[in-house]
Chain A
Amino acid sequence: MANHSVGREGFLKHQVILALSVILDDPVFMCRMHMHMAYRSVAQVPQGADSILASGLIPFLVEKLEEEEEEIQEVILDTLYFCLQWDSLQALQSNAVPILREKLTSPNEDIRSKAARTLMAICMLLDGKNEVWRHDVIPLLVMLLDDPHIDVKGNAAGALMFATVTTEGKYAALDAGAIPFLLELLDVDLPKVRLNAIKTLTMLAEAPEGRRDLLPQVNKFKALFQDPVLYVRHAAQIATKVIEWKP
């Protein structure tokens, strides 16, 4: 029902979210699964995300992340991804970053990619960025850039993209040797991965060390000017501008 927007509005009007939260601890697996899927659909709308945040469910969801089975974990990670783009304070308070950090090393690749996506959402706000840097997640993300699964690479690049906005993040990523991995990612087929990689490299190029390392690779960016996707071209242009900037 939550897949339709009318349904979502109905949800919000009748405070169904709170009622559903009672099922969080239900022993029946399918019950919980469907409940989490409903939450995920609700969270995709900003109002829905707001109401989920307002009802204080985030700490519970984070707890459940640790305990639940993998399928439900994926759904929870999706829900968190949508909610955390707006306000990551509750998640940070409930210690979400270390949990997500563990999930990054999980053997299941879906979980890894979704965990990376959720970290990206956390990093969108400044508090999240600082927390992520403080918990040393950046080296893990850089390692994930080398993951065989393409989705994981893309999401890890996205998370790095936001995490490297701050100066500390930039230097942490540079220290972890992110640049060679990101340069490889530029050749990947999936446009999302290319975009994220270009953006991350742009961030890193703001730092003088980054610029120094990237200057010999400018040709790669110039090659991307002919990319079929419009946004990739834009991003490549911005990147070259930043790399060749002289103070």
Chain B
Amino acid sequence: MTSTIADSSPRPPGTYTFASRPRPLNCQRRRYRDYYGSSDEEPIRYGNIMYDRRVIRGNTYALHTYPPTSQPDPVELQRQQEAKRKALARKRAREHLRPRSPEPVEGRKHADVQTELYLEELADRIIEVDMECQTDAFLDRPPSPLFIPAKTGRDVATQILEGELFDFDIEVKPMLEVLVGKTIEQSLLEVMEEEELAELQMQQQQFEELRNLELAEVQRLEEQERRHQEEKEHRRQQQLEVLHKQNETSKKIAARAYAKMYLADLLPSVFSNLRDKGYFYDPVERDIEVGFLPWLMHEVDKTIEYNMLGRIVLDMLIREVVETRLNMFEQLGAKQSEVLPDENDKEREESLTTGAEQFIEGSQRSSQRDSQWDSQGGSLRYDSLDSAFTNQRESFERGASFDP
């Protein structure tokens, strides 16, 4: 674990520095079987630095320090090559100097031969020997032995003889008293506190019960009150309603009585009114009145018309006759007047004319009277007309009787 120490001094760029705390290096070699749960508990195995091959020993002044660059220096390379060549040359020189047997003659070859007594079989097979090597299986790490530190210090011993020491029983008494006394006091206090607490609890409980009780009572009374109020309200409402209804009923009755009384007259008066106006009629009578009498009158009218017509015709006849007679008389008169004085003519003329006027008047009156025809007085009028006519006739006859 490297920890870089912060460098406060400014360093020139490009310089490499490295610093780390001293730490033991982890030894990778395990001697015992790894098992779970052992990683954290045992101390980290570290290698002894004295036996570490990575550590440089001895003279460090003339070491081959490898430059930091990866590529070897060309000078170094050359030197290495030279060294190699020299070594090779030396080896060859040594070989050269070694005494050897002379070279074989042409066509012959040196061969190695066994010259011992007992010949050994030389096989081309190389003698092989199988060697095995096996590491021991990983054992469990045995538990660390108890660390019993070596004895240090000096042994000292004392010996107490009888009677030299104090008497335990006597000495211990006051202390014991104090101890026990304190303990008992403490425990008494605690017990009393607990008792007090218990008492308090009980009182609290009682109080609570009482409170609950009272609360329940209050709520019950409240509820009761509320119900009573509701009930009263309800009853009151009912009463009000009853009263109201009664009121209404009495008003209705009064109104009814009054209306009845008012209308009691109404019906007879209405009936009498109607009767007066002629809305109630006897159908037969009505029928007679509507149908029969007009026809009767009409017929009567017609008859009288005819009568009248006849009379008018008669009147006209008479008038004509009278006029002719008048003319005749006038002519006669004119003839006679030559003989008689004029007064008679005048009288005659006057009487004639008056007679004629009377006659004409009478006929006019009769025609007027015709127009005044009334159904009820029909016969009376008829008589009057008749009398009028007879008067005319009399006057006419008077006039006519003037005729000599």
> What is the interface of chain A, defined by CB distance below 8 A to chain B?
120, 124, 158, 161-162, 165-167, 191-192, 195-196, 199, 202-203, 206, 231, 235, 238
B219 contacts the other chain (Cβ, under 8 Å)?
yes
Nearest CB of A to B120, in Å:
83
Question: Which residues of the partner chain B approach A161 to less than 8 Å between Cβ atoms?
Answer: 212, 216
Docked pose: A203 CA to B217 CA in angstroms:
9
B213 to A231, Cβ gap below 8 A? yes
Query: Please, which residue of chain B has its CB at the minimum distance from the CB of A120?
Result: B212
B224 contacts the other chain (Cβ, under 8 Å)?
yes
B229 contacts the other chain (Cβ, under 8 Å)?
no
B216 to A162, Cβ gap below 8 A? yes
For chain B, the bracket of interface size reads 10 to 19
A238 to B210, Cβ gap below 8 A? no
Docked pose: A16 CA to B205 CA in angstroms:
27
Docked pose: A124 CA to B219 CA in angstroms:
9
A206 to B224, Cβ gap below 8 A? yes
B219 to A195, Cβ gap below 8 A? no
- Interface CB pairs A-B, < 8 A, 22: A120-B212, A124-B215, A161-B212, A162-B212, A162-B216, A165-B216, A165-B219, A165-B220, A165-B223, A166-B223, A167-B223, A167-B227, A196-B213, A199-B213, A199-B216, A199-B217, A203-B216, A206-B220, A206-B223, A231-B213, A235-B213, A238-B217
Question: Which residues of the partner chain B approach A162 to less than 8 Å between Cβ atoms?
Answer: 212, 215-216, 219
Contact of A195 among B209, B224, B227 (CB under 8 A): B209
Docked pose: A231 CA to B214 CA in angstroms:
10
Question: Which residues of the partner chain A approach B220 to less than 8 Å between Cβ atoms?
Answer: 165, 199, 202-203, 206
Docked pose: A192 CA to B224 CA in angstroms:
24
A192 to B209, Cβ gap below 8 A? yes
Contact of B213 among A167, A195, A206 (CB under 8 A): A195
Nearest CB of B to A118, in Å:
13
Name B44-63 residues within 8 Å CB distance of A. none
A192 to B205, Cβ gap below 8 A? yes
- Of the listed residues A165, A196, A206, the one surrounded by the most CB atoms of chain B closer than 10 A to its CB is A165
Docked pose: A2 CA to B104 CA in angstroms:
117
Docked pose: A124 CA to B209 CA in angstroms:
13
Question: Which residues of the partner chain B approach A202 to less than 8 Å between Cβ atoms?
Answer: 217, 220
> What is the interface of chain B, defined by CB distance below 8 A to chain A?
205, 209-210, 212-213, 215-217, 219-220, 223-224, 227
Docked pose: A238 CA to B220 CA in angstroms:
11
Question: Which residues of the partner chain A approach B209 to less than 8 Å between Cβ atoms?
Answer: 191-192, 195-196, 231
- With contacts A161-B216, A162-B215, A203-B220 known, what are 11 further pairs, Cβ within 8 A? A165-B223, A195-B213, A196-B212, A196-B213, A199-B220, A206-B223, A206-B224, A206-B227, A231-B209, A231-B213, A235-B213
Query: Please, which residue of chain B has its CB at the minimum distance from the CB of A238?
Result: B217
Q: Which 7 A-B pairs have the closest CB atoms?
A: A165-B219, A161-B216, A199-B216, A192-B209, A165-B223, A195-B213, A203-B220
- Of the listed residues B215, B220, B227, the one surrounded by the most CB atoms of chain A closer than 10 A to its CB is B220
- Of the listed residues B205, B210, B216, B224, the one surrounded by the most CB atoms of chain A closer than 10 A to its CB is B216
Question: Which residues of the partner chain A approach B205 to less than 8 Å between Cβ atoms?
Answer: 192
Nearest CB of A to B370, in Å:
104
Question: Which residues of the partner chain B approach A231 to less than 8 Å between Cβ atoms?
Answer: 209-210, 213
Docked pose: A120 CA to B219 CA in angstroms:
14
Question: Which residues of the partner chain B approach A124 to less than 8 Å between Cβ atoms?
Answer: 212, 215
Nearest CB of B to A16, in Å:
22
Docked pose: A203 CA to B220 CA in angstroms:
7
Known: A192-B205, A199-B217, A238-B217. A158 touches B212 (CB 8 A): yes
Docked pose: A199 CA to B215 CA in angstroms:
11
- Of the listed residues B210, B212, B217, B223, the one surrounded by the most CB atoms of chain A closer than 10 A to its CB is B212
Docked pose: A199 CA to B212 CA in angstroms:
10
Question: Which residues of the partner chain A approach B223 to less than 8 Å between Cβ atoms?
Answer: 165-167, 206
Docked pose: A162 CA to B214 CA in angstroms:
11
Docked pose: A200 CA to B212 CA in angstroms:
12
Nearest CB of B to A51, in Å:
20
Docked pose: A202 CA to B227 CA in angstroms:
16
Query: Please, which residue of chain B has its CB at the minimum distance from the CB of A202?
Result: B220
Question: Which residues of the partner chain B approach A206 to less than 8 Å between Cβ atoms?
Answer: 220, 223-224, 227
Docked pose: A3 CA to B209 CA in angstroms:
21
Question: Which residues of the partner chain B approach A165 to less than 8 Å between Cβ atoms?
Answer: 216, 219-220, 223
Nearest CB of B to A201, in Å:
11
Nearest CB of B to A99, in Å:
22
Nearest CB of A to B218, in Å:
10
Question: Which residues of the partner chain A approach B212 to less than 8 Å between Cβ atoms?
Answer: 120, 124, 158, 161-162, 196
Docked pose: A202 CA to B214 CA in angstroms:
13
Question: Which residues of the partner chain A approach B215 to less than 8 Å between Cβ atoms?
Answer: 124, 162
Question: Which residues of the partner chain B approach A199 to less than 8 Å between Cβ atoms?
Answer: 213, 216-217, 220
Docked pose: A206 CA to B223 CA in angstroms:
10
Nearest CB of A to B193, in Å:
11
Question: Which residues of the partner chain A approach B227 to less than 8 Å between Cβ atoms?
Answer: 167, 206
Question: Which residues of the partner chain B approach A158 to less than 8 Å between Cβ atoms?
Answer: 212
Docked pose: A120 CA to B213 CA in angstroms:
12
Docked pose: A174 CA to B216 CA in angstroms:
18
Question: Which residues of the partner chain B approach A192 to less than 8 Å between Cβ atoms?
Answer: 205, 209
Nearest CB of B to A41, in Å:
12
Docked pose: A206 CA to B209 CA in angstroms:
22
Docked pose: A202 CA to B216 CA in angstroms:
10
Nearest CB of B to A46, in Å:
12
Docked pose: A206 CA to B224 CA in angstroms:
8
Question: Which residues of the partner chain B approach A238 to less than 8 Å between Cβ atoms?
Answer: 217
Query: Please, which residue of chain B has its CB at the minimum distance from the CB of A121?
Result: B212
Docked pose: A161 CA to B212 CA in angstroms:
9
- Of the listed residues B205, B217, B227, the one surrounded by the most CB atoms of chain A closer than 10 A to its CB is B217
Nearest CB of A to B287, in Å:
82
Docked pose: A120 CA to B216 CA in angstroms:
11
Question: Which residues of the partner chain B approach A203 to less than 8 Å between Cβ atoms?
Answer: 216, 220
Nearest CB of A to B219, in Å:
5
Docked pose: A154 CA to B216 CA in angstroms:
15
